Chain A
Amino acid sequence: MAYRAHIDPIACAAHGDCEDIAPEIFRVGDVAEVIGTGPDELMLEAARVCPSVAIRITDEATGEQVFP
């Protein structure tokens, strides 16, 4: 669990793809929110498919941005 997801609430258009892919990590209302954690790969996949690129992934250990 080295990665952490952050939502840009301005960019998020509530497409819902992240919740489809990782319902235990994301929940989508007016905008998406991070509700939990999960495997790094799943988090990355959700970030990659987001049509609005509203999910930023950082490495918790280093603070470094992994995506986008």
Chain B
Amino acid sequence: MTDGILIAGAGLAAQRGAETLRRSGFDGPIRVVGAEPHRPYDRPPLSKAVLADPGAEERLSFRPGAWYDDADVELVLGVEAIGLDYRARRLQLSDGGAAAYDQLLVATGSRPRTLPLLDGFANVTTLRTLEDARELRGVLAARGRLAIVGAGFIGQEVASAARKAGVRATVVEAAPAPLHSVLGASVGGWFADLHRAEEVEMILDARLAAIEGDDAVEALVLADGRTVPCDHVVVGVGVQPNVEWLGLGAAGAGGMEADANGRTRLAGVWAAGDCAATFDPAVGRHVPGAHWESAGRQAVAAARGMLGLDVRSAPVASFWSDLYDTRIQYLGDAGTADAVRIDGEPRRRDFRATYTRGGRPVGVLLVGRPHELPDARALLAA
């Protein structure tokens, strides 16, 4: 066994996996193969600080270049994994080469969904990579009118960054409220009001019907006939896992299925992060990866599993966002709730929404109350 451990992907899960392997005493070869030309870097700031400040790019890399030399982790950048021969334990690479492994961590992440109607226009971007963020920062600096399709967290963070930059922004969302399916009508409505108070135009229950413009989008045309004139469009309508390269059958639509420790059905193959659908014993099914915290923890679990080490139990994962300098934190699974209780003062951007199902807490949203996170975590763990 000398081919060592190969990590396909070079994001958070890859970095966390490599670090855990080394810290846990693995001294064989570790190779990280990543499609982007950059050392592994942190993505959450791309929709926050990096949109406002080029200087924030300096803090994106997880580790300085010298770390990889010191830790003897080989980075193969600008090269994509394009095929897996799991019987021969070999990965095909986009540069025509192949890479053999003893154990493989599939950590190829996800990519933004796009909308066919908006394909091919020059002024339409999604936000996933550093290049995307740089382009969008340029757009904000030029102060054009911004149309944001989708009121998920990415769309909302872009709206927040746009207002900070003095840019006019319109959010177009298909649901009756932002985050409606997860947080429900009343709390979703709070998010809509938040953006309106910051002079973002929110168009809800909206369906995109047509586009005005030839090479560039000049306006979005909605099904009810309204038009949204714009100089640039950001699409934030969710992500899909990068698993097609594994071949048909190796991965489900929600991602590469893995057990709670990251082990897949294929011998020697593990999966973590956004590309993985990890089994959650609490709900009894595979859950698509979506969150930063779970990606990191899944990679740590997989790395330890590869070495035959026990896996530490993890708390309920939390998710965070910053909108107009207010910290938003969410944990649990509010989408399954049948009731919600609000404590605090939503108008002052200071409240807690506790979601329950049959009286049992299943999710918590904290707005402007970061100090309550440990308490919320304990509430959901009980």
Residues of A within 8 A of B (CB): 8, 10-11, 13-16, 20, 29-30, 48, 51-53, 67-68
Contacts and interface: CB of A to CB of B under 8 A. Distances in A.
Given A16-B62, A29-B19, A29-B23, A11 B371 contact: no
Interface string B296-317: 1100100000000000111101
Given A10-B312, A16-B42, A52-B373, 4 more contacts: A10-B315, A13-B317, A29-B19, A30-B300
B86 interface: no
B19 A68 contact: no
A8 B378 CA distance: 13
B161 to A, nearest CB: 18
A68 B23 contact: no
A13 B296 contact: yes
Contacts of B357: none
A52 B318 contact: yes
A14 B16 contact: yes
Contacts of B296: 13-14
Nearest to B300: A30
B113 interface: no
Contact of B23 (A11, A15, A30, A51): A30
Given A11-B315, A30-B19, A53 B374 contact: yes
A20 B56 CA distance: 12
B123 interface: no
Nearest to A68: B371
A53 B373 contact: yes
B59 A68 contact: no
B374 A11 contact: yes
B42 to A, nearest CB: 8
Contact of B293 (A10, A30, A52): A52
B377 interface: yes
Nearest to A51: B320
B166 interface: no
A67 B312 CA distance: 26
Given A67-B371, A68-B371, A13 B377 contact: no
